[in-house]
Structure 1
Amino acid sequence: MFWLNGKPADSVSLSDRSFQYGDGCFTTMLTRGGCIQHWSRHIERMNACLDLLTIPRPDWHQVENWLQQAVKSDVKAGVKLHISRGEGGRGYSPTQVASPNVTISDFIYPPHYEQWVSRGLELGICRTRLGHNPLLAGHKHNNRLEQVLAKAELDKGGFADGIVLDICDNVVETTMANLFWVKDSSLFTPDLRNAGVNGVMRRVVLEQLGDLSLKASIGDFKLEDVLSADEVFVSNSVLGVAPITRIGSTSFDIGKITKRIQEMIDS
């Protein structure tokens, strides 16, 4: 189902600025036992993007109440929270715009995610490159055309997901998740200062590393760095952490560090 500002809806106005310009942001959340997982972190990431876009923050207590309409109490599922600047305005100008629109939708937990988490998944390598945009990098704003093009490319190749590089051939992420790899007992993940999305689960993983006596090396890396890894995994808020068993023609075992991180995330 869909809700617009807390009320059931099946459409939004043609003058909504998210439809017109992608003017807004969103986050996708896992729900379990009637609770939104990592809700406070989702609020933090939404506030950061809203502040950057100068969109007024909503009343989060009200939004949480609206979300309860979409949260299923008996099963693991997902909800998407989408905030638009609102309706109206002349051209690109954000002046003379009505109050923000909050859209909520629910969805079933993808059944294949369980298999990915336990058995791993294979990644393709996208030809589509991500441009550099330091102003918006890290944020999950509503302009996702690069990801749409990359995913369309993977669909044609028969891959569920794939690694995406930037215009300098640095590894950034996959089309749907953040990327990590382990080499010689050290953990690596790409710097997202120029492109990509700093996902909530990425932050959770990085916060857990102290308990494993690991430090993350965050920087600019090439595809060859990933392909030479001992183990590789991806993360997002709904999937959690899933091991990678193949990238192109290179195979990987499901490693001990990946399994330990999975256990810590699920505990």
Structure 2
Amino acid sequence: MGPIRQYRAFFIGGILLFINGVSTDLLSARDRGLAYGDGHFTTMLIKHGQVVWWSAHLARLQQASARLGFAEVDWSILTREVVQLAAGQTQAVAKVMLTRGIGGRGYDGSGCQTPTRIVSLADYPSHYQGWQQNGIPLLVCQQRLGDAPMLAGLKTLNRLEQVLLKNELAARSGVEGIVLNSRGFLVEGVSANLFWRRGKTVFTPDLAHCGIDGIMRRHVMGMLKQMSIELRVVEAPLESLWQAEEVWLTNTLMGIVPVNGIGDTQYPSPVLIRRLQERLVIEV
């Protein structure tokens, strides 16, 4: 607890950063997060000094650590660090990264007994508010995600596919993009989960083979259930979006963002999206 208070005003490159409770940007070259992407993370919204849905983010970290076979993390210490980091922040972004730590040789991480804990604080991306109100256009990414059922749903540190997809967006002057898997089915956006509505039914891609099971995705699924709106988790081709009446993206920071159009297909009436956004404002 001490180091966070002691170094509270010390920023590194615009980000307040702590590694194992100490304000530093120095990480061992032997850390497996660096060597192999052997770790996972969650990104959180801070509002009025509180982490929004911290219990859900903590559960995500615990589940990922269990699936990846990490040594035990002191979750109470991590919780105190995150709570202290959020205190006094009107609106900001917090991030927790956990790596398997230092130890083992090659791919064998069995010697790692102490996971590395990285906690950071950064400014909230203000452009998301404009996205929520005005919507955004999407392009269809040419690059595709590979199936990886062992890691499906997890937010691991190995984000090279997303790095390449972001590069593609930049090269094509795109804001966000729709990503398919290698079998041609819809998965998600580059940085967000995907939903669409046709008639009285909402659809979202099945993430059993690849993709990230986002906290906001789960929350929207819960809201739809409360509203008695049918939701189907499906393997669906890109053409499903041409038949949709509404399309939207979600993640913890951007919230619920309407999609205005994909190529020549336009979505001018975000009726359900506005209802979901109104409920979200009340709940967050």
- TM-score normalised by the chain length of structure 2: 0.91
Tell me the alpha carbon deviations over residues 106-152 of structure 1, each in whole angstroms, 9 at most, x when there is no partner. Answer: 11110100000111111111011111111110111111111111111
User: Could you tell me how far 1:248 is from its partner in structure 2?
Assistant: 2.0
Alignment check: 8 A CA contact 2:71 2:112 kept: no
Aligned to 1:173: 188
SS in 2 for 1:107: strand
Residue by residue over 1:163-185, the C-alpha shift from the partner in whole angstroms, topping out at 9 and shown as x without a partner, is: 00000110000010000001012
1:66-124 Cα deviation digits (max 9, x unpaired): 11343252421111100000012111111222410100111111010000011111111
Partners of 1:254 and 1:59 in 2: CA distance: 47
Letter in 1 for 2:179: V
Secondary structure of 1:196's partner? coil
Amino acid paired to 1:118: Q
For 2:204 and 2:194, locate their aligned partners in 1 and report how far apart those are by CA, in whole Å: 6
Equivalent residue in structure 2 for 1:29, among 24, 34, 44: 44
1:153 corresponds to which residue? 168
Measure how far apart 1:254 and its partner are.
4.0
Mapped to 2, the partners of 1:159 and 1:70 lie a distance apart of 33
The number of aligned residues is: 267
Following the alignment from structure 1 to structure 2, what is the Cα–Cα distance between the partners of residues 6 and 226? Answer: 46
CA deviation map 1:21-80 (0-9, x unaligned):
000100000000110011111111111111111012422221111113432524211111
Rounded to whole Å, the distance in 1 between the matches of 2:114 and 2:23 is 18
Q: RMSD of aligned C-alpha atoms?
A: 1.2
Letter in 1 for 2:106: G
Matched letter for residue 266 of structure 1: V
> For the residues of structure 2 that align with 1:236 and 1:263, how far apart are their CA atoms?
16
Is 1:93 equivalent to 2:113 in the alignment? Answer: no
Alpha carbons 1:132, 1:166 under 8 Å: kept: yes
Corresponding residue of 2:222: 207
In the TM superposition, residue 263 of structure 1 has moved relative to its aligned partner by 1.2
Structure 1 CA distance for aligned equivalents of residues 43 and 89 of structure 2: 19
Matched, 1:75 2:90: yes
Aligned residues: percent identity? 37
Change (3 A) 1:109 1:44: same
| Structure 1 gaps, min length 5 | none
- Find the aligned partners of 1:8 and 1:91 in 2 and give their Cα distance: 29
User: Could you tell me how far apart the structure 2 residues matched to 1:139 and 1:50 are?
Assistant: 10
1:144 aligned residue = 159
- Give CA-to-partner distance per residue, 1:180-224, whole Å, 9 cap, x none: 001012100000000100000000011111222102111111111
Q: Is the 8 A contact 1:180 1:232 kept in 2?
A: yes
Secondary structure (helix, strand or coil) at the match of 1:15 reads coil
- The 3-state SS of whatever aligns with 2:258 is strand
Query: Contact between 1:89 and 1:95, CA under 8 Å: does it hold in 2?
Result: yes
Deviates more, 1:78-87 or 1:205-214: 205-214
Q: Does the 8 Å contact 1:124/1:162 carry over to 2?
A: yes
Alignment of 1:63 with 2:78, yes or no, is yes
Give 1:71's aligned amino acid.
A
Picking from 232, 241, 248, the partner of 1:217 is 232
Change (3 A) 1:86 1:74: closer
What amino acid does structure 1 have at the position aligned with 2:40?
C
CA distance in 1, matches of 2:87, 2:137: 30
Q: Which AA in structure 1 matches 2:153?
A: G
Q: For the Cα contact (< 8 Å) 1:166–1:172, is it kept in 2?
A: yes
CA distance in 2, matches of 1:109, 1:254: 28
CA contact (8 A) 1:180 1:233 kept: yes
Classify 1:148/1:250 alpha carbon distance in 2 versus 1 (closer, same or farther; 3 Å). same
